[in-house]
Amino acid sequence: MEQYAIKGGNPLVGEVEIGGAKNAALPILAAALMTDETVLIENMPDVRDTNIMLQAMESIGVITNRVDRHTVKINGSQITSLSITADFVKKIRASYYLIGALLGKCGKAAVVLPGGCNIGSRPIDQHMKGWRALGADVRIEHGMILTEAKGPLKGNHIYMDMVTVGATINVMMAAVMAEGLTIIENAAKEPHVVDLANFLNSMGANIKGAGTDIIRIKGVEKLHGTEYAIIPDQIEAGTFMFAAAATKGDVTVKNVIPKHLESITAKLQEIGCEIEESDDAVRVVAAKGLTHTQVKTLPYPGFPTDMQPQIAVTLGLASGASMVTESIFENRFKYVDELTKMGADVKVEGRTAFIYGVNSYTGANIVAPDLRAGAALVLAALAADGISTVDDIRYVERGYEDFDEKLRGLGAQIEKIESERDLQKFQMKIC
Protein backbone atom coordinates (compact mmCIF):
# COMPACT_ATOMS: atom_id res chain seq x y z
CA MET A 1 0.00 0.00 0.00
CA GLU A 2 1.36 3.40 -0.93
CA GLN A 3 2.42 5.81 1.79
CA TYR A 4 4.09 9.17 1.94
CA ALA A 5 7.45 9.36 3.64
CA ILE A 6 8.02 12.87 4.89
CA LYS A 7 10.96 14.61 6.54
CA GLY A 8 9.50 17.68 8.19
CA GLY A 9 10.83 20.86 9.63
CA ASN A 10 11.46 22.95 6.50
CA PRO A 11 9.35 26.03 5.76
CA LEU A 12 7.58 25.65 2.43
CA VAL A 13 8.59 28.43 0.07
CA GLY A 14 7.68 29.23 -3.52
CA GLU A 15 4.75 29.16 -5.93
CA VAL A 16 2.20 26.47 -6.60
CA GLU A 17 -0.33 26.22 -9.41
CA ILE A 18 -3.84 25.21 -8.33
CA GLY A 19 -5.88 22.86 -10.51
CA GLY A 20 -9.57 22.64 -11.36
CA ALA A 21 -12.05 22.14 -8.52
CA LYS A 22 -12.85 18.47 -7.89
CA ASN A 23 -16.23 19.26 -6.37
CA ALA A 24 -17.19 21.34 -9.41
CA ALA A 25 -15.78 18.82 -11.87
CA LEU A 26 -17.89 15.93 -10.54
CA PRO A 27 -21.33 17.46 -11.16
CA ILE A 28 -20.14 19.13 -14.36
CA LEU A 29 -19.07 15.75 -15.76
CA ALA A 30 -22.45 14.27 -14.87
CA ALA A 31 -24.32 17.22 -16.37
CA ALA A 32 -22.32 16.93 -19.59
CA LEU A 33 -24.28 13.80 -20.54
CA MET A 34 -27.52 15.79 -20.56
CA THR A 35 -27.04 16.89 -24.17
CA ASP A 36 -26.61 14.70 -27.25
CA GLU A 37 -24.02 17.16 -28.55
CA THR A 38 -20.33 17.01 -27.62
CA VAL A 39 -19.15 18.96 -24.61
CA LEU A 40 -15.53 20.00 -24.07
CA ILE A 41 -14.44 20.48 -20.46
CA GLU A 42 -11.14 22.14 -19.61
CA ASN A 43 -9.23 22.46 -16.32
CA MET A 44 -10.46 19.01 -15.28
CA PRO A 45 -8.46 17.77 -12.28
CA ASP A 46 -6.84 14.38 -12.85
CA VAL A 47 -7.76 12.83 -9.50
CA ARG A 48 -9.24 9.47 -8.51
CA ASP A 49 -12.78 10.75 -7.93
CA THR A 50 -13.11 12.40 -11.36
CA ASN A 51 -11.60 9.34 -13.02
CA ILE A 52 -14.11 7.07 -11.29
CA MET A 53 -16.91 9.39 -12.42
CA LEU A 54 -15.68 9.13 -16.03
CA GLN A 55 -15.55 5.33 -15.72
CA ALA A 56 -19.10 5.27 -14.33
CA MET A 57 -20.30 7.35 -17.27
CA GLU A 58 -18.51 5.07 -19.73
CA SER A 59 -20.26 2.09 -18.12
CA ILE A 60 -23.62 3.38 -19.44
CA GLY A 61 -22.40 4.24 -22.93
CA VAL A 62 -21.31 7.86 -22.52
CA ILE A 63 -18.35 8.49 -24.80
CA THR A 64 -15.46 10.13 -22.98
CA ASN A 65 -12.34 11.21 -24.75
CA ARG A 66 -9.37 12.73 -22.97
CA VAL A 67 -7.88 15.38 -25.23
CA ASP A 68 -5.05 15.93 -22.76
CA ARG A 69 -4.54 15.40 -19.03
CA HIS A 70 -6.90 18.25 -18.10
CA THR A 71 -9.28 18.36 -21.05
CA VAL A 72 -12.01 15.88 -21.75
CA LYS A 73 -14.71 15.57 -24.40
CA ILE A 74 -18.01 14.02 -23.38
CA ASN A 75 -20.75 12.80 -25.67
CA GLY A 76 -23.97 11.50 -24.16
CA SER A 77 -25.86 10.69 -27.37
CA GLN A 78 -25.32 6.92 -27.13
CA ILE A 79 -26.45 6.11 -23.60
CA THR A 80 -27.18 2.39 -23.43
CA SER A 81 -28.40 2.02 -19.85
CA LEU A 82 -30.00 4.13 -17.16
CA SER A 83 -28.83 1.83 -14.42
CA ILE A 84 -25.41 2.13 -12.81
CA THR A 85 -24.71 -0.93 -10.71
CA ALA A 86 -20.94 -1.45 -10.84
CA ASP A 87 -19.38 -1.77 -7.42
CA PHE A 88 -16.58 0.74 -8.08
CA VAL A 89 -19.22 3.47 -8.40
CA LYS A 90 -19.89 3.23 -4.66
CA LYS A 91 -16.42 4.60 -4.05
CA ILE A 92 -17.54 8.12 -4.88
CA ARG A 93 -20.38 9.94 -3.24
CA ALA A 94 -20.80 12.10 -6.31
CA SER A 95 -22.02 9.11 -8.33
CA TYR A 96 -25.51 10.21 -7.23
CA TYR A 97 -25.14 13.24 -9.50
CA LEU A 98 -25.73 10.79 -12.33
CA ILE A 99 -29.29 10.40 -11.01
CA GLY A 100 -29.99 14.13 -11.28
CA ALA A 101 -28.49 14.18 -14.79
CA LEU A 102 -30.18 11.02 -16.12
CA LEU A 103 -33.53 11.76 -14.49
CA GLY A 104 -33.40 15.26 -15.99
CA LYS A 105 -32.54 13.98 -19.45
CA CYS A 106 -34.26 10.59 -19.68
CA GLY A 107 -36.86 10.66 -16.87
CA LYS A 108 -35.39 7.58 -15.21
CA ALA A 109 -32.25 6.49 -13.38
CA ALA A 110 -30.99 3.85 -10.97
CA VAL A 111 -27.65 4.16 -9.20
CA VAL A 112 -26.08 2.14 -6.40
CA LEU A 113 -26.15 4.03 -3.11
CA PRO A 114 -22.98 6.04 -2.88
CA GLY A 115 -20.17 5.75 -0.37
CA GLY A 116 -17.47 8.42 -0.27
CA CYS A 117 -15.43 9.69 2.66
CA ASN A 118 -16.54 8.38 6.04
CA ILE A 119 -17.03 11.74 7.72
CA GLY A 120 -20.43 11.17 9.30
CA SER A 121 -23.89 10.03 8.39
CA ARG A 122 -24.77 11.35 4.96
CA PRO A 123 -28.51 11.16 4.33
CA ILE A 124 -29.99 11.87 0.90
CA ASP A 125 -33.51 12.79 2.03
CA GLN A 126 -33.28 16.30 0.54
CA HIS A 127 -32.25 14.94 -2.87
CA MET A 128 -35.19 12.54 -2.78
CA LYS A 129 -37.58 15.23 -1.62
CA GLY A 130 -36.51 17.46 -4.51
CA TRP A 131 -36.86 14.77 -7.19
CA ARG A 132 -40.26 13.81 -5.82
CA ALA A 133 -41.38 17.43 -5.89
CA LEU A 134 -40.55 17.46 -9.61
CA GLY A 135 -42.84 14.47 -10.10
CA ALA A 136 -40.50 11.49 -9.95
CA ASP A 137 -41.20 8.30 -8.08
CA VAL A 138 -38.15 7.70 -5.84
CA ARG A 139 -37.35 4.52 -3.91
CA ILE A 140 -34.36 2.87 -2.28
CA GLU A 141 -34.30 -0.87 -2.89
CA HIS A 142 -31.53 -3.46 -2.67
CA GLY A 143 -28.89 -0.79 -2.14
CA MET A 144 -29.97 1.17 -5.22
CA ILE A 145 -31.63 4.56 -5.56
CA LEU A 146 -34.39 4.15 -8.16
CA THR A 147 -36.05 7.17 -9.73
CA GLU A 148 -38.63 7.31 -12.47
CA ALA A 149 -40.99 9.97 -13.80
CA LYS A 150 -44.20 8.67 -15.40
CA GLY A 151 -44.57 11.80 -17.53
CA PRO A 152 -42.46 14.91 -18.01
CA LEU A 153 -40.94 16.37 -14.83
CA LYS A 154 -42.73 19.52 -13.69
CA GLY A 155 -41.16 22.56 -12.03
CA ASN A 156 -41.99 23.11 -8.37
CA HIS A 157 -41.11 25.16 -5.31
CA ILE A 158 -38.60 23.25 -3.16
CA TYR A 159 -37.41 24.35 0.26
CA MET A 160 -34.24 22.62 1.45
CA ASP A 161 -34.43 21.81 5.18
CA MET A 162 -30.70 22.45 5.49
CA VAL A 163 -28.08 23.96 3.23
CA THR A 164 -26.87 21.04 1.14
CA VAL A 165 -24.47 21.20 -1.76
CA GLY A 166 -25.35 17.76 -3.09
CA ALA A 167 -29.13 18.16 -3.05
CA THR A 168 -28.99 21.68 -4.51
CA ILE A 169 -26.91 20.32 -7.39
CA ASN A 170 -28.98 17.18 -7.90
CA VAL A 171 -32.29 19.06 -7.97
CA MET A 172 -30.86 21.75 -10.23
CA MET A 173 -29.85 19.13 -12.80
CA ALA A 174 -33.18 17.33 -12.66
CA ALA A 175 -35.07 20.63 -13.04
CA VAL A 176 -33.17 22.05 -16.00
CA MET A 177 -35.42 20.43 -18.60
CA ALA A 178 -38.55 20.11 -16.43
CA GLU A 179 -41.71 21.90 -17.57
CA GLY A 180 -42.11 25.36 -16.05
CA LEU A 181 -40.36 27.07 -13.15
CA THR A 182 -38.47 25.42 -10.29
CA ILE A 183 -37.47 27.46 -7.27
CA ILE A 184 -34.92 26.06 -4.83
CA GLU A 185 -35.01 27.91 -1.52
CA ASN A 186 -32.27 27.74 1.11
CA ALA A 187 -29.95 26.65 -1.70
CA ALA A 188 -26.22 26.05 -1.19
CA LYS A 189 -24.06 28.97 -2.39
CA GLU A 190 -20.71 27.19 -2.76
CA PRO A 191 -18.54 28.22 -5.73
CA HIS A 192 -19.00 24.77 -7.26
CA VAL A 193 -22.80 25.17 -7.20
CA VAL A 194 -22.38 28.42 -9.13
CA ASP A 195 -19.91 26.77 -11.51
CA LEU A 196 -22.39 24.01 -12.33
CA ALA A 197 -25.12 26.60 -12.95
CA ASN A 198 -22.79 28.55 -15.26
CA PHE A 199 -21.91 25.35 -17.08
CA LEU A 200 -25.57 24.38 -17.54
CA ASN A 201 -26.40 27.91 -18.70
CA SER A 202 -23.60 27.64 -21.26
CA MET A 203 -25.46 24.52 -22.51
CA GLY A 204 -28.65 26.54 -22.94
CA ALA A 205 -30.22 26.17 -19.47
CA ASN A 206 -32.01 29.09 -17.82
CA ILE A 207 -30.79 29.20 -14.21
CA LYS A 208 -30.78 32.41 -12.22
CA GLY A 209 -29.72 33.18 -8.65
CA ALA A 210 -26.99 30.55 -8.23
CA GLY A 211 -24.72 31.85 -5.48
CA THR A 212 -27.71 33.18 -3.52
CA ASP A 213 -30.23 31.42 -1.25
CA ILE A 214 -32.83 31.21 -4.02
CA ILE A 215 -32.17 29.54 -7.35
CA ARG A 216 -34.76 29.88 -10.12
CA ILE A 217 -34.70 27.41 -12.96
CA LYS A 218 -36.92 27.87 -16.02
CA GLY A 219 -37.13 24.58 -17.83
CA VAL A 220 -35.80 24.50 -21.40
CA GLU A 221 -36.59 21.90 -24.03
CA LYS A 222 -33.06 20.72 -24.58
CA LEU A 223 -29.44 21.46 -23.92
CA HIS A 224 -26.66 21.85 -26.46
CA GLY A 225 -22.89 21.32 -26.59
CA THR A 226 -20.46 23.76 -25.01
CA GLU A 227 -16.83 24.42 -24.15
CA TYR A 228 -16.24 25.21 -20.52
CA ALA A 229 -13.31 25.62 -18.09
CA ILE A 230 -13.81 24.50 -14.48
CA ILE A 231 -13.06 26.99 -11.67
CA PRO A 232 -9.89 26.60 -9.58
CA ASP A 233 -10.11 24.39 -6.50
CA GLN A 234 -10.85 26.45 -3.40
CA ILE A 235 -9.90 23.61 -1.06
CA GLU A 236 -6.66 22.65 -2.80
CA ALA A 237 -5.66 26.33 -2.65
CA GLY A 238 -6.64 26.59 1.01
CA THR A 239 -4.66 23.45 1.83
CA PHE A 240 -1.47 24.93 0.37
CA MET A 241 -2.17 28.22 2.18
CA PHE A 242 -2.35 26.39 5.49
CA ALA A 243 0.74 24.39 4.51
CA ALA A 244 2.57 27.73 4.36
CA ALA A 245 1.20 28.69 7.78
CA ALA A 246 1.92 25.35 9.49
CA THR A 247 5.52 25.22 8.21
CA LYS A 248 6.10 28.98 8.80
CA GLY A 249 6.76 29.38 5.12
CA ASP A 250 5.99 31.77 2.28
CA VAL A 251 3.80 30.32 -0.46
CA THR A 252 2.00 31.92 -3.39
CA VAL A 253 -0.98 29.94 -4.64
CA LYS A 254 -1.54 30.76 -8.31
CA ASN A 255 -4.52 30.32 -10.60
CA VAL A 256 -7.08 30.93 -7.85
CA ILE A 257 -10.15 33.12 -7.39
CA PRO A 258 -9.23 35.12 -4.24
CA LYS A 259 -12.91 35.83 -3.52
CA HIS A 260 -13.52 32.10 -2.98
CA LEU A 261 -10.73 32.08 -0.39
CA GLU A 262 -11.96 34.96 1.79
CA SER A 263 -12.93 32.93 4.86
CA ILE A 264 -9.57 31.14 4.65
CA THR A 265 -7.48 34.31 4.26
CA ALA A 266 -9.41 35.97 7.11
CA LYS A 267 -8.49 33.14 9.50
CA LEU A 268 -4.87 33.10 8.35
CA GLN A 269 -4.64 36.83 9.04
CA GLU A 270 -6.21 36.34 12.46
CA ILE A 271 -3.53 33.84 13.44
CA GLY A 272 -0.72 36.14 12.34
CA CYS A 273 0.00 35.41 8.67
CA GLU A 274 0.46 38.16 6.12
CA ILE A 275 -1.65 37.86 2.99
CA GLU A 276 -1.00 39.51 -0.37
CA GLU A 277 -3.71 39.20 -3.01
CA SER A 278 -3.57 39.83 -6.72
CA ASP A 279 -6.14 39.09 -9.43
CA ASP A 280 -5.53 35.36 -9.54
CA ALA A 281 -3.00 34.62 -6.79
CA VAL A 282 -2.71 34.79 -3.01
CA ARG A 283 0.59 34.86 -1.13
CA VAL A 284 0.74 33.64 2.47
CA VAL A 285 3.75 34.71 4.52
CA ALA A 286 3.94 33.06 7.91
CA ALA A 287 7.42 33.88 9.10
CA LYS A 288 6.31 34.89 12.61
CA GLY A 289 4.80 32.70 15.31
CA LEU A 290 1.11 31.84 15.03
CA THR A 291 -1.57 32.80 17.54
CA HIS A 292 -4.72 30.98 18.60
CA THR A 293 -8.24 31.57 17.25
CA GLN A 294 -11.72 30.11 17.16
CA VAL A 295 -13.43 28.80 14.07
CA LYS A 296 -16.71 27.12 13.21
CA THR A 297 -17.33 25.42 9.89
CA LEU A 298 -20.34 26.72 7.98
CA PRO A 299 -21.78 26.59 4.47
CA TYR A 300 -20.22 29.08 2.02
CA PRO A 301 -19.31 31.89 2.52
CA GLY A 302 -18.46 30.53 5.98
CA PHE A 303 -15.30 28.61 6.77
CA PRO A 304 -15.44 25.32 4.77
CA THR A 305 -15.74 21.99 6.55
CA ASP A 306 -13.27 20.70 3.95
CA MET A 307 -10.63 23.00 5.51
CA GLN A 308 -11.37 22.07 9.13
CA PRO A 309 -8.58 19.49 9.63
CA GLN A 310 -6.01 21.75 7.92
CA ILE A 311 -6.75 24.71 10.22
CA ALA A 312 -6.83 22.44 13.29
CA VAL A 313 -3.41 21.00 12.46
CA THR A 314 -2.07 24.55 12.07
CA LEU A 315 -3.66 25.77 15.31
CA GLY A 316 -1.99 22.87 17.10
CA LEU A 317 1.24 24.81 16.53
CA ALA A 318 -0.16 28.24 17.47
CA SER A 319 0.35 29.80 20.88
CA GLY A 320 -2.56 29.58 23.33
CA ALA A 321 -5.87 27.73 23.26
CA SER A 322 -7.96 27.47 20.09
CA MET A 323 -11.40 26.05 19.45
CA VAL A 324 -12.54 24.39 16.22
CA THR A 325 -16.24 23.56 15.90
CA GLU A 326 -17.48 21.28 13.12
CA SER A 327 -21.09 22.06 12.29
CA ILE A 328 -21.55 20.15 9.01
CA PHE A 329 -20.38 16.54 9.50
CA GLU A 330 -20.34 14.88 12.92
CA ASN A 331 -17.42 12.55 12.33
CA ARG A 332 -14.71 14.82 11.04
CA PHE A 333 -12.24 14.66 13.94
CA LYS A 334 -10.90 11.19 13.23
CA TYR A 335 -7.44 12.62 12.53
CA VAL A 336 -7.07 13.85 16.12
CA ASP A 337 -5.78 10.51 17.44
CA GLU A 338 -3.16 10.48 14.69
CA LEU A 339 -2.16 14.07 15.43
CA THR A 340 -1.83 13.20 19.11
CA LYS A 341 0.81 10.63 18.12
CA MET A 342 2.83 13.59 16.84
CA GLY A 343 2.62 15.42 20.15
CA ALA A 344 -0.44 17.60 19.55
CA ASP A 345 -2.55 18.54 22.57
CA VAL A 346 -6.16 18.28 21.38
CA LYS A 347 -9.35 17.21 23.15
CA VAL A 348 -12.58 16.63 21.29
CA GLU A 349 -15.87 17.14 23.04
CA GLY A 350 -18.91 16.63 20.86
CA ARG A 351 -18.47 18.75 17.77
CA THR A 352 -15.67 20.93 19.16
CA ALA A 353 -11.93 20.35 19.31
CA PHE A 354 -10.09 22.22 22.05
CA ILE A 355 -6.54 22.73 20.86
CA TYR A 356 -3.68 23.77 23.11
CA GLY A 357 -0.75 24.86 20.96
CA VAL A 358 2.59 23.03 21.25
CA ASN A 359 5.96 24.32 20.02
CA SER A 360 6.42 21.56 17.48
CA TYR A 361 5.14 18.20 16.33
CA THR A 362 7.35 15.13 16.15
CA GLY A 363 7.45 12.70 13.23
CA ALA A 364 5.31 9.55 13.61
CA ASN A 365 3.72 6.75 11.59
CA ILE A 366 0.19 7.92 10.97
CA VAL A 367 -2.79 6.92 8.84
CA ALA A 368 -5.01 9.15 6.69
CA PRO A 369 -8.62 8.57 7.81
CA ASP A 370 -10.20 10.47 4.90
CA LEU A 371 -9.36 12.89 2.10
CA ARG A 372 -9.05 16.27 3.85
CA ALA A 373 -7.84 14.82 7.15
CA GLY A 374 -5.19 12.94 5.17
CA ALA A 375 -4.00 16.15 3.55
CA ALA A 376 -3.97 17.88 6.93
CA LEU A 377 -1.84 15.11 8.44
CA VAL A 378 0.62 15.58 5.59
CA LEU A 379 0.84 19.25 6.63
CA ALA A 380 1.46 18.15 10.22
CA ALA A 381 4.25 15.83 9.06
CA LEU A 382 5.80 18.62 6.98
CA ALA A 383 5.86 20.84 10.06
CA ALA A 384 7.10 18.09 12.40
CA ASP A 385 10.65 17.44 13.54
CA GLY A 386 11.91 14.20 12.03
CA ILE A 387 10.48 11.60 9.70
CA SER A 388 6.83 10.57 9.38
CA THR A 389 4.97 8.11 7.25
CA VAL A 390 1.38 8.75 6.22
CA ASP A 391 -0.50 5.59 5.28
CA ASP A 392 -3.68 5.16 3.18
CA ILE A 393 -2.78 8.01 0.85
CA ARG A 394 -5.35 6.70 -1.64
CA TYR A 395 -7.75 8.96 0.24
CA VAL A 396 -5.58 12.00 -0.43
CA GLU A 397 -5.32 11.04 -4.08
CA ARG A 398 -9.11 11.17 -4.39
CA GLY A 399 -8.93 14.93 -4.40
CA TYR A 400 -5.37 16.25 -4.77
CA GLU A 401 -3.54 15.96 -8.07
CA ASP A 402 0.23 15.40 -7.76
CA PHE A 403 0.09 16.47 -4.12
CA ASP A 404 3.60 15.21 -3.31
CA GLU A 405 5.07 16.70 -6.49
CA LYS A 406 3.52 20.11 -5.84
CA LEU A 407 4.83 20.02 -2.25
CA ARG A 408 8.31 19.07 -3.47
CA GLY A 409 8.14 22.14 -5.72
CA LEU A 410 7.87 24.18 -2.51
CA GLY A 411 10.91 22.50 -0.97
CA ALA A 412 9.14 19.71 0.94
CA GLN A 413 10.96 16.44 1.50
CA ILE A 414 8.17 14.02 0.64
CA GLU A 415 8.09 10.85 -1.41
CA LYS A 416 5.64 8.11 -2.21
CA ILE A 417 6.88 4.77 -0.91
CA GLU A 418 5.58 1.23 -1.12
CA SER A 419 7.84 -0.76 1.18
CA GLU A 420 10.20 -0.68 4.13
CA ARG A 421 13.06 -0.70 1.62
CA ASP A 422 11.70 2.46 -0.04
CA LEU A 423 11.56 4.08 3.40
CA GLN A 424 15.19 3.18 4.07
CA LYS A 425 16.17 4.66 0.70
CA PHE A 426 14.27 7.84 1.57
CA GLN A 427 16.01 8.05 4.93
CA MET A 428 19.43 7.64 3.30
CA LYS A 429 18.62 10.23 0.66
CA ILE A 430 17.60 12.93 3.09
CA CYS A 431 20.49 12.38 5.55
Question: Which residues contact ligand EPZ (rule: CB under 6 A)?
Answer: 23, 26, 93-94, 117, 119, 122-127, 162, 164-167, 188, 305-306, 328-329, 371-372, 399
The burial class, CB within 10 Å (0-12 / 13-18 / 19+), for 394 is middle
Is 431 annotated in the active site?
A: no
DSSP letters for 363-379? --EEE--SHHHHHHHHH
Residue 66 Cβ, how far from ligand EPZ at the closest point, in Å?
21
Whole-angstrom distance, CA of residue 121 vs CA of residue 277: 37
Residue 352 Cβ, how far from ligand EPZ at the closest point, in Å?
16
Q: Are 293 and 270 in contact (CB under 8 A)?
A: yes
Residue 309 Cβ, how far from ligand EPZ at the closest point, in Å?
10
Residue 162 Cβ, how far from ligand EPZ at the closest point, in Å?
5
Catalytic residue among 106, 117, 273, 431: 117
Shorter beta-carbon distance to ligand EPZ: residue 5 or 119: 119
Shorter beta-carbon distance to ligand EPZ: residue 176 or 371: 371
Whole-angstrom distance, CA of residue 240 vs CA of residue 284: 9
Shorter beta-carbon distance to ligand EPZ: residue 121 or 359: 121
Shorter beta-carbon distance to ligand EPZ: residue 115 or 289: 115
137: left (phi over 0), alpha (psi -120 to 50) or beta: beta
- Point out the residue whose Cβ comes nearest to ligand EPZ: 166
Residue 93 Cβ, how far from ligand EPZ at the closest point, in Å?
5
A 10 A CB-CB count for 402 gives 15
Supply the DSSP symbol for 213.
Answer: S
The burial class, CB within 10 Å (0-12 / 13-18 / 19+), for 327 is middle
Shorter beta-carbon distance to ligand EPZ: residue 307 or 355: 307
Whole-angstrom distance, CA of residue 261 vs CA of residue 427: 36
Q: Are strands 345-349 and 352-356 parallel, antiparallel or unpaired?
A: antiparallel
User: Which pairs count as long-range contacts for 127-131, CB under 8 Å and 24+ apart, including other chains?
Assistant: 127/96, 127/99, 127/100, 127/166, 127/167, 127/170, 127/171, 129/158, 129/161, 129/167, 130/158, 130/160, 130/167, 130/170, 130/171, 130/174, 130/184, 131/99, 131/100, 131/103, 131/170, 131/171, 131/174
A 10 A CB-CB count for 292 gives 17
Residue 23 Cβ, how far from ligand EPZ at the closest point, in Å?
3
Give the list of residues 6+ apart from residue 218 with CB closer than 8 angstroms, or none: 155, 180, 181, 206
Largest Cα–Cα separation, the chain: 69
Active site residues per annotation:
117
